[in-house]
Chain A
Amino acid sequence: MNGAEASTQRDSFGALETHLRARRESGAKLLVPYVTGGYQGWQRAVEAAAAAGADAIEIGVPFSDPVMDGPVIQQASTAALAEGATPASVLEEARELDTGVPHAVMTYYNLCHHQGHERFASALLEAGVCAAILPDLPYVEAGPWLEAAAEAGLEAILLAAPTTPEHRLADLCGASRGFVYAVGLLGVTGERTALARTATEIAARCLAVTDRPVLTGVGIGSPSQAIEACEVSDGVIIGSAVVRTLMSDGPEAVGELVASYRTALDHG
């Protein structure tokens, strides 16, 4: 796109995308940790992650049937639900957070559908959340939600997968707000011993059709894998590694983990 178009669009970017673009322009690789909301100590984990250099935080709102999540995040979701976490309680707690970075919610579509698109979007905004990721609402079904989110001023982040056909990818990336979530592999969330070949391929395919920030998630299990992914991608989302650390070593350890990724991405 030419400069004039770019500046017109810039005015319409939401808080998350504006922040991520600025960070990217400053030369940083973007780091977005995921924390399961409602899990014991989750707020402190979010604050520790932000203090350790996260560029934004993804807050999971636990759902009974998390079909895109692997064992670690499933376990945290189940525990949070067992302790009484609800969408309202997690958002209430999210509102209390003051991290200085944008917050996005990740949850499943039924919780949005049940409440109604408009009410769901405004509930997030009232909790200081500026974006949402709904991994079981693919682009082909997302039309009404994208419209409602745009109307409310919430950034609706879409996922692109290694199996997304070329004819859909440009439209998908164009319709996403905040960033494009490039799913790094065929599979559910969880750490893997090596970075999948698909991780860099899908990021490259997205970046070829959009100037929106492209973040790679699913299957990033170590700082060195994050560096490898960022050879192509604008940044990474780390979920299961964070949640596993929260569950085993508590919220402070999350800060140390995120710091190790930050250092790796900054100094490679």
Chain B
Amino acid sequence: MAAETDGTTTHSRSVMGEPTTDGRFGEFGGRFVPETLVAACEELEAAFREAWADPAFVDEFETTLRDYGGRPSPLTECHNLSRQLGVRLLVKREDLNHTGSHKINNVIGQALLAQRMGKTRLVAETGAGQHGVATATAAALLGMQCKVYMGAVDVDRQSLNVFRMRLLGSEVESVQSGSRTLKDAVNEALRDWVATVENTHYCLGSVMGPHPYPWMVRTFHHILGDEAAAQCKDLTGGDPDVVVACVGGGSNAAGIFSGFADGDARLVGVEPAGGAAVGRGVPGVVHGMTSYLMQDEVGQVMEAESISAGLDYPGVGPEHAYLAAIGRAEYPSVTDDEVVEAFTLMSRAEGIIPALECAHALAWIVRAAPEIQGQTVLMNLSGRGDKDVDQMMDVLGMGGLVS
């Protein structure tokens, strides 16, 4: 495997190591962007390598995540759910971070890097709005301009986050093209970047896109996997048996997997049934990368459909495609109905309202429970559910909750 033989850094022998010099994880990845952006990707890669090798940068990153972002996030043992499900359920509480999800790790990293590169403006895509809010937050903190592209469909179902971004001083553009969801927001952000590359950094929100993004974004999220590994060890004396996370583009899953990929834990990335890129996709090229992609019989990209705006993405990060291809991780999918059930289950059993995205991870655990009885299961609770309450009120109805 190329990732194991390439490079000389400490992570180079890791299953989740550095990609090859042409940005590949196995056969996946690459840099499939318009010529206009190739130089920007090269410049970004060089800047990231240089910054990440500079202890002062790493220190500023870690200090900001601690003093501003609230890291480390706790590990919570869910006793009630553990009893109900017959497993030992531990959850990594990324929902408790500033801005309510793991997304803050990546945006602090990228915003600090952009500032170091002399960029004055950030653009970002967002699905559920979590990455958009996090980017708007980092822009406010560092005094940068910010514009967030969000599919019109998502603007409608996540109006609270739209207001949040505007409150933080960012411009939010409702994207009307294509399926008007996350994939189209990515297209629009790329189009903006093509035109503004001189002063603008594209703060991409997941482990996807052209090299170096998949690797860089995972590296900024590595901190949550490292923390979780240490916390599990303190609590249980070792690694969990199973590590579970939801997967849209796959950034929270990449973060938590990176803490365990070289051990023996089973890695499970849970996709929505309507956006199962790994499960139903075939290799394709869009948004700068080769990866698994949901597409029709001639290669037009299909629209993902999920109850969760954050997972409404027809592709998946190339490193996940690689982990699936080599059999190191598995990517089952769950239905919207299972997700709604898990959403209410966690709220009632643990007093934690999970983001609909993470409810996918729990939904798989509920389904798989009979086969994993007695095992220790670590779930990444990558975001809090406040943003979804409005939508769930429509789905469940006030009456649906009376018991």
Q: A residues within 8 Å of B by Cβ?
A: 63-68, 70-71, 74, 78, 81, 86-88, 109-111, 113-115, 135-141, 158-165, 172, 183, 185-188
* Apart from A65-B187, A65-B301, A136-B33, 12 more pairs, CB < 8 Å: A86-B298, A109-B32, A109-B285, A110-B284, A113-B290, A115-B299, A138-B31, A138-B35, A141-B30, A159-B35, A161-B36, A187-B194
Please, how many angstroms separate the alpha-carbon atoms of A78 and B179 in the complex?
Answer: 10
B178 touches which of A65, A141, A185 (Cβ 8 Å):
A65
**Residue picked from A67, A68, A70, A186, most chain B C-beta under 10 Å:** A67
Please, how many angstroms separate the alpha-carbon atoms of A74 and B191 in the complex?
Answer: 12
Q: Is B78 an interface residue (CB 8 A)?
A: no
**Residue picked from B35, B178, B190, B288, most chain A C-beta under 10 Å:** B35
B31 A140 Cβ-Cβ under 8 A = yes
A138 with B34: in contact, given A74-B177, A110-B299 (CB under 8 Å)?
yes
Q: Can you name 15 A-B pairs with beta carbons within 8 Å?
A: A65-B301, A78-B177, A87-B299, A88-B298, A114-B284, A114-B295, A138-B34, A140-B38, A141-B31, A141-B32, A158-B35, A160-B35, A162-B36, A186-B36, A187-B194
A65 touches which of B30, B31, B183 (Cβ 8 Å):
B183
Please, how many angstroms separate the alpha-carbon atoms of A92 and B191 in the complex?
Answer: 31
Within the complex, the shortest CB–CB distance from A138 to chain B, in Å, comes to 5
A110 B295 Cβ-Cβ under 8 A = yes
Please, how many angstroms separate the alpha-carbon atoms of A192 and B248 in the complex?
Answer: 37
B35 touches which of A63, A78, A110, A164 (Cβ 8 Å):
A164
Q: Is B198 an interface residue (CB 8 A)?
A: yes
Please, how many angstroms separate the alpha-carbon atoms of A78 and B177 in the complex?
Answer: 8
Complex interface residues of chain B between 151 and 201 (CB less than 8 A to chain A): 177-178, 183-184, 187, 190-191, 194-198
B301 A110 Cβ-Cβ under 8 A = yes
Within 8 Å CB of A68, what residues of B? 34, 191, 194
The 7 A-B residue pairs with the shortest CB-CB distance in the complex, in nearest-first order: A114-B299, A187-B195, A161-B36, A64-B300, A161-B35, A163-B39, A64-B301
A186 B190 Cβ-Cβ under 8 A = no
Please, how many angstroms separate the alpha-carbon atoms of A16 and B187 in the complex?
Answer: 31
Within the complex, the shortest CB–CB distance from B190 to chain A, in Å, comes to 5
A81 with B300: in contact, given A65-B178, A186-B195 (CB under 8 Å)?
yes
